[in-house]
Structure 1
């Protein structure tokens, strides 16, 4: 039954009437959930034996790197308040909770010379509590918070980090695998490389946009493959779980039907999503990346391509390391061909050779990169099916920011309705989408944006001693959706 609160909100905001929304029920086994990550939600940055991560160092070195001065030292304090958060998840009624394990909470310096039992106990308690409340735990092994010690060894530019990651993954499988049936290895490797190794705006704050980002991608693919192979060879038979990597991409479509714009959109999708998905599903970098980066490298005076060459051994090791396709999708863009930029400085952006932009008519969020284009969900899911034909697809992030964390967040509800309606349409198209995880449960720390961008269904009062959690209207709406499994008054 609808609670009185949900009923009144339906009347107030006209949620219960959606003429343009899908009138299909979500499939019986479709899973709804919520997502967070360790650095963004836990706090307790130096408690319980936890070591220093590169994000701890990045913010502690310079407080101005966060727009509002906040960092991950406390944030939502879920390290101490995890039981309250599990209760919220239960009350909303989710099937799945996606969180990440802080590498430094398990292995303080990233190496296996010391396993921190306090950290193991923290996640074990969380995972068991989720199971006790009929919520499936979905841990992500790496969500951007590399141990500082490993960062000083070269971080994701050093191929040896893949071996460290494999050792860490093995320990997680050993400690938690009895209770976990679905894993993610690395979250948004593209973003990790582009904005961490290609700009100063995210840890570790390097500006290697012409070469370091490609080396970063290479090492992360090796790390993912190693974690996958270890599970496949050592744990799958006894634990029976599945493993994937969470990729991110805004859908790109041609600005016009001209062949040049059509090709520009294809290149954008290959550089954005194919960069990682193509090696995992097909065994090498996408051909447009190989050709364009190789040709530009020669013009720039290199004797080799800035894109690392995958050896035959690399290809065979990385190919096939997937059990399902996990995708984070927030928005979409038009893509337009740009005539040759010329040589210039080596750059990922010049390598693509196109221009991406939003339609001025699309609703704008408080983040300059995110506009609402619900059709992007359906179009990207169909593109994934055509390009990779995965057995299952799970949307592991999708969300809408505002700058205040208002409880009256109708824009977020409208965004969710549109994207979920297009997800249902994609299922009708034949894409086997098995779940949708909204970002995020709480108003978490949004990296260098601090708390200036709020994406939670639940408001957090960061000025209160208790970091009070308050449900927004979107939380009640989501709770109702999970009960009715329907976006409109009457579903078929």
Structure 2
């Protein structure tokens, strides 16, 4: 199939993907999520908490970047106040109750607990805040799922090199131990890192996330190595010293969007595999594969290009046999953040790369059919069956792995209002394909919708909204109001069934149902 022929095929695939929510409704309505399947929502500390310097909290890399380089954020905003969850955490939990959540995934702010990043100085006010948040959830039987790191590194540690410093695994393990010691009696689900690709490629190998290091060609790979070692250190600390008494589990969350070949050619299939390895295999393979190494084809490509560019050895560091053994198997589950997909080509739609980088190393093209439904985010399209393809691929590649969908969501514009039918369509489509994957044998234990509420959307500021709840950022109280998608999600959680015909009567349903 040529590139010129592809749109017709894409329209057909789109139709097949969306028909799940339409003509085949009765069949889909019969299917049901298990009673023990965990439904929740997800957020991140910097995006919702505010209180950026409250009660002894230290500065993190997003504080430093947004305060000193405000122009890098689309609307010149920051997370100084955000949704002000630091002062509104009880309302957050009330929203969880309104939705009927089984669980809530949130992250700890490292610098709120350890202001300088190092464990010699613990900020008791920060510990108290998270204790209050966790206890408020547990009061209503909502399970806390805690991410240790969601992109907000203490600035003091970044000043020392951050993820590139070989001491980073030690710093992270010390921080993890503080968290386990203070919260592990109640928290039974731990995630070490959220989205290594975004940390290492976007923050260290490029300029689309803090700290904007832009160490192209090198930063991504060294960050990956020390992040993996840090993850393994935190995991082993939990298993060796806490799991026997706390009886929890510890894993990692990796962004896994689907990348399939544009055509059936061997070249495009190889290009798609390179793209998958660069996006998520770089981090998943050492943990979940049998050999525990960086992905083979990606390693070969980087080594070859490094020599051609005059380097004496590969820009990708090696993992020693001891390090491979240390990292391999260091996760009780695979957390999957999934949003979209694209087609990959060996020849077409390639970038024009001047300096060495991860994308220059793989040197493949990407194609997104124009007819795919678009969100407010340029990168986020409704890609038919992408969640199913991602999960079944991972299931076949890494045996006996348990999965959680730790993020999945859709963005709208700030003025899009409360009737978010695109988001409703996205969620219903994704959840139907999740059921398809589970029926195909993939062991998926839970699903976290991104996000509970609107928040500071990183480099986009407040220009994109992912929340089931609308947040009024002009109101000092940061009033939260449910969107239509909140009612739809509530109904799915209540019935364990995706009813394509369900429509909430009004947006005052909460009052009608006695809330």
TM-score tier by shorter-chain length is over 0.9
Q: Please give the per-residue CA displacement for 1:374-425, whole angstroms capped at 9, x wherever unaligned.
A: 3000000000101112431100001100112520100000000101100000
Aligned to 2:340: 331
1:344, CA displacement in angstroms?
5.4
1:69, CA displacement in angstroms?
1.9
1:126, CA displacement in angstroms?
0.8
1:201, CA displacement in angstroms?
2.9
Aligned to 1:474: 485
How far apart are the structure 2 equivalents of 1:265 and 1:290? Answer: 15
Structure 1 window deviating more from structure 2 (20-29 vs 346-355): it is 20-29
Match runs of 1:22-421 below 5 Å: 22-23=28-29, 24-282=31-289, 283-338=292-347, 345-404=355-414, 405-421=416-432
Q: Please give the per-residue CA displacement for 1:41-75, whole angstroms capped at 9, x wherever unaligned.
A: 00000001110001100000022121112201000
Structure 1 residues 89 and 260, CA gap change in structure 2 (3 angstroms): same
Aligned to 1:19: 23
Aligned to 1:457: 468
Does the residue aligned with 1:368 lie in a helix, a strand or coil?
A: coil
1:16, CA displacement in angstroms?
12
How far apart are the structure 2 equivalents of 1:166 and 1:479? Answer: 37
1:81, CA displacement in angstroms?
0.2
How far apart are the structure 1 equivalents of 2:139 and 2:353? Answer: 59
Contact 2:195/2:255, CA 8 A, preserved across alignment = yes
Does the residue aligned with 1:178 lie in a helix, a strand or coil?
A: coil
How far apart are the structure 2 equivalents of 1:342 and 1:298? Answer: 20
Could you say what the CA RMSD is over the residues aligned between the two structures, in angstroms? 1.8
Contact 2:305/2:361, CA 8 A, preserved across alignment = yes
Normalising by structure 1, what TM-score? 0.94
1:290, CA displacement in angstroms?
1.2
Structure 1 spans left out of the alignment, 5+ residues: 1-14
How far apart are the structure 2 equivalents of 1:56 and 1:106? Answer: 15
Q: Please give the per-residue CA displacement for 1:253-275, whole angstroms capped at 9, x wherever unaligned.
A: 01010111111111111221211
Aligned to 1:444: 455
1:343, CA displacement in angstroms?
9.4
How far apart are the structure 1 equivalents of 2:174 and 2:93? Answer: 29
1:342, CA displacement in angstroms?
11
Aligned to 1:12: none
How far apart are the structure 2 equivalents of 1:336 and 1:395? Answer: 28
How many pairs are equivalent? 477
Q: Please give the per-residue CA displacement for 1:69-123, whole angstroms capped at 9, x wherever unaligned.
A: 2201000000000000101101100111000000011100101121111111110
How far apart are the structure 1 equivalents of 2:21 and 2:161? Answer: 54
Contact 1:296/1:343, CA 8 A, preserved across alignment = no
Contact 1:209/1:347, CA 8 A, preserved across alignment = yes
Normalising by structure 2, what TM-score? 0.90
Contact 1:329/1:395, CA 8 A, preserved across alignment = yes
Contact 2:351/2:365, CA 8 A, preserved across alignment = no
How far apart are the structure 1 equivalents of 2:501 and 2:374? Answer: 30
1:489, CA displacement in angstroms?
6.3
Aligned to 1:10: none
Contact 2:340/2:381, CA 8 A, preserved across alignment = yes
Structure 2 spans left out of the alignment, 5+ residues: 1-18, 503-515
Does the residue aligned with 2:54 lie in a helix, a strand or coil?
A: coil
Q: Please give the per-residue CA displacement for 1:184-225, whole angstroms capped at 9, x wherever unaligned.
A: 000001111111112223211121121111111111111111
How far apart are the structure 2 equivalents of 1:51 and 1:489? Answer: 47
Contact 1:396/1:438, CA 8 A, preserved across alignment = yes
Does the residue aligned with 1:263 lie in a helix, a strand or coil?
A: helix
Does the residue aligned with 1:144 lie in a helix, a strand or coil?
A: coil
Contact 1:170/1:227, CA 8 A, preserved across alignment = yes
How far apart are the structure 1 equivalents of 2:66 and 2:461? Answer: 10
How far apart are the structure 2 equivalents of 1:342 and 1:130? Answer: 49
1:366, CA displacement in angstroms?
1.2
Contact 1:335/1:354, CA 8 A, preserved across alignment = yes
Contact 2:194/2:254, CA 8 A, preserved across alignment = yes
Does the residue aligned with 1:179 lie in a helix, a strand or coil?
A: coil
1:19, CA displacement in angstroms?
2.8
Q: Please give the per-residue CA displacement for 1:277-315, whole angstroms capped at 9, x wherever unaligned.
A: 100012110101111101111111111000011011111
How far apart are the structure 1 equivalents of 2:424 and 2:358? Answer: 35
